[in-house]
Amino acid sequence: MKLSRYIYIVILNLCINLLSSVCHADDGYRLWLRYDKIDDPAILSQYKNQVRSFFFYDASPTITVAKKELSDGLKGLFGQVVPESNAANNGSLLIRKNQPIPFSHIDFQTYGKEAFTIYTMKVDGKNVTTISANTDIGILYGVFHFLRLMQTRQSIQNLAIISAPKIQNRLLNHWDNLTRHVERGYAGISIFNWHTLPGYIDQRYIDYARANASIGINGTVVTNVNANALILTKEYLEKFKALADVFRPYGIKLYLTARFSAPIELGKLKTADPLDTTVRNWWKEKINEIYQYIPDFGGFLVKANSEGQPGPQNYGRTHADGANMLAEAVAPHGGIVMWRAFVYSNETPEDRVKQAYSEFKPLDGKFEKNVLVQVKNGPLDFQPREPFSPLFGAMPQTPLMMEFQITQEYLGQGTNLVYEAPLFKEVLDADTYQHGPGSTVKKVIDGTLDNYSITGMAGVSNIGNDRNWTGHLFGQSNWYAFGRLAWDHDLSASAIADEWIKESFPNNPKLIATIKQIMLSSRETVVNYMTPLGLHHIMGTGHHYGPAPWVNNAGRADWNPVYYHKADSFGIGFERSSRGSNALEQYAPEVQKQYEDSNTCPEKYLLWFHHVSWNHKMKSGRTLWDELCHSYYAGVDSVRAMQQQWNSLKPFIDEERFRHVQMLLNVQLSEAIWWRNACLLYFQTFSGKPIPAQYEKPDHTLAYYQALRFPYAPGTGN
Amino acid sequence: MKLSRYIYIVILNLCINLLSSVCHADDGYRLWLRYDKIDDPAILSQYKNQVRSFFFYDASPTITVAKKELSDGLKGLFGQVVPESNAANNGSLLIRKNQPIPFSHIDFQTYGKEAFTIYTMKVDGKNVTTISANTDIGILYGVFHFLRLMQTRQSIQNLAIISAPKIQNRLLNHWDNLTRHVERGYAGISIFNWHTLPGYIDQRYIDYARANASIGINGTVVTNVNANALILTKEYLEKFKALADVFRPYGIKLYLTARFSAPIELGKLKTADPLDTTVRNWWKEKINEIYQYIPDFGGFLVKANSEGQPGPQNYGRTHADGANMLAEAVAPHGGIVMWRAFVYSNETPEDRVKQAYSEFKPLDGKFEKNVLVQVKNGPLDFQPREPFSPLFGAMPQTPLMMEFQITQEYLGQGTNLVYEAPLFKEVLDADTYQHGPGSTVKKVIDGTLDNYSITGMAGVSNIGNDRNWTGHLFGQSNWYAFGRLAWDHDLSASAIADEWIKESFPNNPKLIATIKQIMLSSRETVVNYMTPLGLHHIMGTGHHYGPAPWVNNAGRADWNPVYYHKADSFGIGFERSSRGSNALEQYAPEVQKQYEDSNTCPEKYLLWFHHVSWNHKMKSGRTLWDELCHSYYAGVDSVRAMQQQWNSLKPFIDEERFRHVQMLLNVQLSEAIWWRNACLLYFQTFSGKPIPAQYEKPDHTLAYYQALRFPYAPGTGN
């Protein structure tokens, strides 16, 4: 090759190099799909050798999307364009539907429509990689997986991958209002600009679909569970259709929330009784209309008879009556209904955490087969730690789906670094014992325990129009982890963190190890400085920002923090054993046995299940009071440790993201101190005991903390 | 030089080339400060020859900022790093305060603290460029100007520039609430994240300051004129201090809006009477407290006794009493008070457009010398076209400052392309005749007409947290134009457009000419399809989105469109001559003469000043009704023309911004058609005349348009 041409190629590739590595502003917009050039020469060489060209044999909008993703991804990772070629040469990457699994009798068809395979094999002696699937969407997932292998520096030699999602319906739930305000949102406002839809399609809608497809999310509910009937009008159906059209090539179905009283509000009927024929017909016609706009409309998510939302009980009907009415109407179109179990009755004085079970268990088997009951991970409301909901495993004839909260309503909102995968895993791996040992929650929701025909997992989104999508940079890791666990709940929190870090930051071993340590410790840290030892629901009223364990004047008893901690001169905690509310009776006997005795109850749930003396002896030898102090102070110290760890990464991380996290860790530290001081000063008024001398004294009084007001804390408006 | 080193330099510069020209995502975030590499080799060569090094002789935070801007700017524009050097060589750019103007007896000190000079000269036979100023901020302005010369491909040889702003106080007014909702905002929510301030400083605050400094804006009111007393509490003063600290090096002062009833709401006083000593003391102490946090706090903007805001009239006091109380308290600190004249009394049935003059003219000379009265450009409320406010020139003893609206509340909100500089210029160049001919509005507000000791110009901001800051890309041009006109109101709309286009897009002559044509015609276009021939205030209630000329049931008569157009079987328009409300009497006799007679009144103001027969003969020969139809249809056709012109630019513009504008022009077309149809169908019920046959018929009925509802149109919440 001539020297000048050689120089030209060197220059061109150097420039693409520089472009890829330096070019992209690190404002976080690219999420985990940065495809920055691989800087390890040995690995890069392996990859380039293995992938010298690619070819898609199929064609469709989804294949077009997959092709663009692969092309852009390879160009970024390799620093050079990888050409298309259908010749089967060394280094060919051939992508084609319906290929048999090599050297196998496995009928790949049985893996389902989202599964994919990735195999390396020799074809006529040539080293070839293949990606195959039963559908175009499977191809897209395969492409994303293949790119992920390289983003995370894994070997792409000798691949023999068959991957199928363990859960069918993997959804985000947006609590986005038509005003664009996001309930419990801390990342700006809704990314969906309802006013300018359908005419204006924001680039963000497309990047949102890409990001979700890359982690296997295949559905999204774009409207708030506190529903607005207007979304069912033509004006809004046009907007949702425009979104659905953007999402479709990425395998993402659009769902809506159903306002139960819509027949009255929109239809001008006199009732919304689900057994009333005119009501049923109204819904049938309305749903038929929706399917005119969106032929693959996913169905509805419903919050009814909860926190003021209308529902079937307004007419003396059951949740099943309500769900089945909608289910029957969407069934001919292939739609589903997800009916939330987050209910707590106004009238019953029963322990709040017992109420969902009490209300739904009797309805087992009464739902249509295209209905799932959507259950929050714990029986209260997304606290930093809750035991798993007793409903899991207790409704063998009704598909239960999981509802996790990705947005950090109770986990520090927009300012605290909390990696949630450990929380998700704790729930998923919990043993319900409903069919003996091994009856884990994950087996309930993936359908294998009770043979559900339909399965699902939902995550309440933390996405907003902030540049980095999630407000706090590390919020991205929770969106990511949710998707990965919805696909495969056997992945570990550590492995998922490893992926996300490698995809989001330079691949420096010290950086990876340090960030992973920060992430994996962060959940326990926030538990320690907010609600240790099983404490729960002691946050500020309304906005849920900051501590307020003293509040006792909320509209209902079970909205008061004092209801939950029950601190008195004797001790603290909620007796939920047989000696108290007996919330434990809703669990299998093996579980009851674990928690029944306050002396053997795992300490992280102690004050959830028991009202315990301030002098109760903990395993550490400390009294409960001293253990409480120890936990709160350790939590704060852990934040300081996170700060030091983060600061050590300054040489390795771009300035913008480094400063972003550094500033937020400062804010987190002051909030952790606030939680610690306010809670201990308040509980101290009951324990009468001193905060042990070795700890730094609170720098404000209890009265100071009790007087704090935040009328404009985010996430609470309409 | 060795070949390898040569190759290295070539590669490095090529890469920076590629970086600069390709690298930057064109999502609009960089505004007009893109500094993309100059692609004209001849011009680039001239620049590089003229600027081979630079040196700042002074040091301060502002100089640091100026240095970074110059360094980044040169690197981008030249595609190579320009080194620092204090040697006076050929190509030296020397930047130093307090240099005398070459070959001149001009005492540069007299130009003031924001002025700057840029001179090319020979020093010891070497070709040198100098930038000088009396202060660091002047240096910063000089640097921005120098960079602008190059961004706009102007010659930088033989420079002899002295530039000083014609107006002292050049402010943005943010109508941002503490909820982050922006009143009349169409670009997302407030860029100011109050909840995470002061701990978290968003990069955007810094880029906001840079952008404003680049166009000479030196002040910003960060809170809504519909004020919230809470902003005066310690919790919020800490947040504002953090912002002020960010803005300070950029020469931008922070101002706040004063809630007149704060002494009651915060101070728990029984009154807010401005003549009450305890009230005056409360404000003095509060203001002293503010200056503890922000030593160069600019002062207050006040909306009082208007649209429900409390004020001095609640206590039988005058606007002057209220303003002077605050003025006296900020005066020792160098602060100012800007008191808005946007008032219209509940009780007086007087023609709405007369009320501000009626209320403020009698107060001339009664204000303290650090008070400006802030007057909207027209006597109503930012309509697509209004005559200038009669207050201009009518208060020779009181500094009046201009209030323009940059956000497009009445100009198509977030979806319409409207370049506002023609509107600004129309007002600024209007002749009040208050001291004979040439008594232009611009001479009023720059203080030369009546010798004001203090001058100002404010623009209601169109900025939000959308990626491109202003929602519609072309909204940026209005922010830009406002700043440029505040500095120099003699600049033409065309010259400013030329600058902005060259700074924002590739420098292609066809592109520049086409975009300029689009921009310069856009204001008249929107007048035509919304409110032609002097029509005004016929928009939808509350949200002001879309047409609703039929509305007659608003809370006050002068909130009703019907009040303003007064359409009846005879004709249409508001008689404001001596035969009607005589709003004309508030103007100088020469002005009255121009508008008094409906046969000679300039047609663009015809229906503002006259109630005219549908058969009135226009200059074109058409009847008024036919002229109305002609205008509305021409407006819509102009939008179609804009679309064609924009589409022709596809080869020249990055895909993202091209599609962005293309999609919005589609939306604009449908909105223009909506305005045209709704207004003509409605007015037709009075005229009884047909829409001339040559025009496309409306595709909906009047009833259809009257039934449209937009409960979630943006910019109206709290």
Average pLDDT, chain B: 95
Q: Which of residues 360-419 of A touch B (CB under 8 A)?
A: 414-415
Residue A23 has a pLDDT of 44
Q: pLDDT per residue over A257-275, tens digit each?
A: 999 999 999 999 999 999 9
Q: Which residue has the tokens 């996913």?
A: A298
Q: Measured between CA atoms, how close is A200 to chain B, in angstroms?
A: 6
Q: A60-80: per-residue pLDDT in tens?
A: 999 999 999 999 999 999 999
Alpha carbon A150 to chain centroid distance?
Answer: 24
- Tell me, letter by letter, the H, E, C secondary structure of B42-89: HHHHHHHHHCCEEEECCCCHHHHHHHHHHHHHHHHHHCCCCCECCCCC
The Cα–Cα gap between A247 and A61 comes to 11
Question: Cβ contact (<8 Å) for B199 and A414?
Answer: no
Q: Which of B15, B184, B716 to mutate to test the interface with A (most CBs of A within 10 A)?
A: B15
* Residues 6+ away with beta carbon under 8 Å from A644: none
A22 and B27 within 8 Å at the Cβ level: the answer is no
| Count of beta carbons in the 10 Å neighbourhood of residue A227 | 24
Chain B residue at shortest CA distance from A193: B188
**pLDDT tens digit sequence for B569-602:** 999 999 999 999 999 999 999 999 999 999 999 9
- Percentage of chain B beyond pLDDT 70 is 96
What does the pLDDT look like over A448-491, one tens digit per residue? 999 999 999 999 999 999 999 999 999 999 999 999 999 999 99
Instruction: Tell whether omega for the bond before B312 is within 30 degrees of 0, i.e. cis.
Output: no
Q: With a cut of 70, say whether residue B703 has pLDDT above it.
A: yes
d(CA A94, CA A118): 10
Q: Give the residue carrying structure tokens 């978290």.
A: B200
Closest chain B residue by Cα to residue A25: B24
Nearest Cα to Cα of residue B676 among B657, B654, B699: B699
ipTM: 0.94
Q: Of residues B409, B466, B503, B524, which has the active-site annotation?
A: B409
Active site residue B307: yes
CA B34 – CA B29 distance, rounded (Å): 9
Helices (H), A248-395: 262-265, 277-293, 319-330, 355-360
Angle separating helix axes A475-487 and A493-504, nearest 10 degrees:
130
Q: Specify the 3-state DSSP secondary structure of A612.
A: strand
Residue A393 has pLDDT above 60, yes or no: yes
What confidence tens digit (pLDDT) does each residue in B14-34 have?
555 444 444 456 899 999 999
- HSE, side-chain direction, 13 A CA sphere, residue A571: 19
Helix spans in B127-218 (H): 136-151, 203-214
Q: Which residues contact A638 (CB under 8 A, 6 or more apart)?
A: A521, A524, A525, A528, A529
Give which of A504, A463, A498 is closest to A484, Cα–Cα.
Answer: A498
User: How confident is the model over A658-700, as pLDDT tens digits?
Assistant: 999 999 999 999 999 999 999 999 999 999 999 999 999 999 9
Using a CB–CB cutoff of 8 Å, tell me whether B11 touches chain A. yes
Q: Using an 8 Å Cβ cutoff, are B525 and B642 in contact?
A: yes
Closest CA to B629 of B698, B553, B559: B698
Reported as a single tens digit per residue, the pLDDT across B305-314 is 888 889 999 9
Structure tokens at A131: 């990606």
Q: Is B562 on the interface with A (CB under 8 A)?
A: no
Buried b (16+ CB within 10 A) or exposed e, A239-267: bbbbbbbbbbbbbbbbbbbbbbbbbbbbb
Does residue B19 sit at the A interface (CB-CB below 8 Å)? yes
B339-369 b/e with 16+ CB inside 10 Å = b? bbbbbbbeeeebbbbbbbbbbbeebbebbbe
Closest-CA residue of B relative to A8 is B11
Average pLDDT, whole number, for chain A? 95
What are the tens digits of pLDDT across the range B446-465? 999 999 999 999 999 999 99
Provide the shortest C-alpha distance from residue B387 to chain A (in Å).
32
Partnered with residue B457 across adjacent β-strands are B170, B402
- Chain A to chain B, count of Cβ pairs less than 8 Å apart? 98
Q: What digits encode the pLDDT tens for the residues B465-475?
A: 999 999 999 99
Q: In angstroms, what separates the C-alpha of A687 from chain B's closest C-alpha? A: 32
Backbone angles phi, psi at B75, to 5 degrees: -60, -40
Structure tokens at B329: 């308290």
User: How far separated are the first and last CA of chain A, in Å rounded?
Assistant: 66
User: Between chains, do B18 and A22 touch, taking CB under 8 Å as contact?
Assistant: no
pLDDT band at A346 (very low <50, low <70, confident <90, very high): low
Cα distance from B222 to chain A (closest Cα, Å)?
16
pLDDT at A555: 85
| Residues of chain B contacting residue A415, judged by C-beta atoms under 8 Å apart | 196, 199-200
CA distance A612 to A577: 12
Mutate to test the interface with A, among B196, B231, B663 (most CBs of A within 10 A): B196
The whole-number pLDDT of residue A19 equals: 47
A12 pLDDT more than 60? no
Token pair 């204001």 is at which residue?
A: B523
B66-103 residue pLDDT tens: 999 999 999 999 999 999 998 888 999 999 999 988 88
Q: Categorize the per-residue pLDDT at B343 as very low, low, confident or very high, splitting at 50, 70 and 90.
A: confident
Q: Name the residue among B621, B538, B546 with its Cα closest to residue B572.
A: B538
Confidence of residue B6 (pLDDT cuts 50, 70, 90): low
Which chain B residues are Cβ-neighbours of A180 within 8 angstroms? 714
Catalytic residue among B238, B296, B307, B568: B307
Among the ranges given (B16-20, B57-61, B688-692), the one the predictor scored with the smallest mean pLDDT = B16-20
CA distance B438 to B432: 8
Cβ-Cβ contacts under 8 Å, B667 against chain A: 196, 199-200
Top-confidence residue, B9 or B489? B489
Q: Enumerate residues 195 to 254 of chain A having a beta carbon within 8 A of any beta carbon in chain B.
A: 195-196, 199-201, 203, 230
Alpha carbon distance A179, A231 (integer Å): 12
Q: Is B76 on the interface with A (CB under 8 A)?
A: no
- Residues of chain A above pLDDT 90, percent: 91
Query: In the predicted model, what is the mean pLDDT of residues A373-396?
Result: 98
Cβ distance A664 to B194 less than 8 Å, yes or no, reads no
* pLDDT band at residue A3 using 50, 70 and 90 as cut-offs: low
User: Would the CB atoms of B19 and A14 count as touching at under 8 Å?
Assistant: no
What pLDDT was estimated at residue A26?
Answer: 87
Using alpha carbons, select from B90, B97, B83 the residue that is nearest to residue B55: B83
φ, ψ at B519 (rounded to 5°): -65, -45
Q: What is the pTM of this model?
A: 0.95
What does the pLDDT look like over B206-259, one tens digit per residue?
A: 999 999 999 999 999 999 998 999 999 999 999 999 999 999 999 999 999 999
Q: Predicted confidence band at A25 (pLDDT cuts at 50, 70, 90)?
A: low
Q: What is the DSSP letter of B557?
A: G
**C-beta atoms of B465 and A10 within 8 A:** no
Contact A14 B11 (CB under 8 A): yes
**Count of other CB atoms within 10 angstroms of residue A333:** 16
Q: Which residue of B has its CA nearest to A230?
A: B711
**pLDDT tens digit sequence for A79-136:** 999 999 988 889 999 999 999 888 888 899 999 999 999 999 988 899 999 999 999 9
> Is A669 in contact with A594 (CB distance < 8 Å)?
no
Q: Which residue from A minimizes the CA distance to B664?
A: A200
Alpha-carbon distance of B165 to A613, in angstroms, equals: 73
Angle, in degrees to the nearest 10, between helices A61-78 and A136-151: 10
What pLDDT sits at residue B25? 60
- Residue A465 in contact with partner chain B when CB distance is under 8 A: yes
B717 in A contact zone (CB under 8 Å): yes
**Mean pLDDT of the B317-343 span:** 96
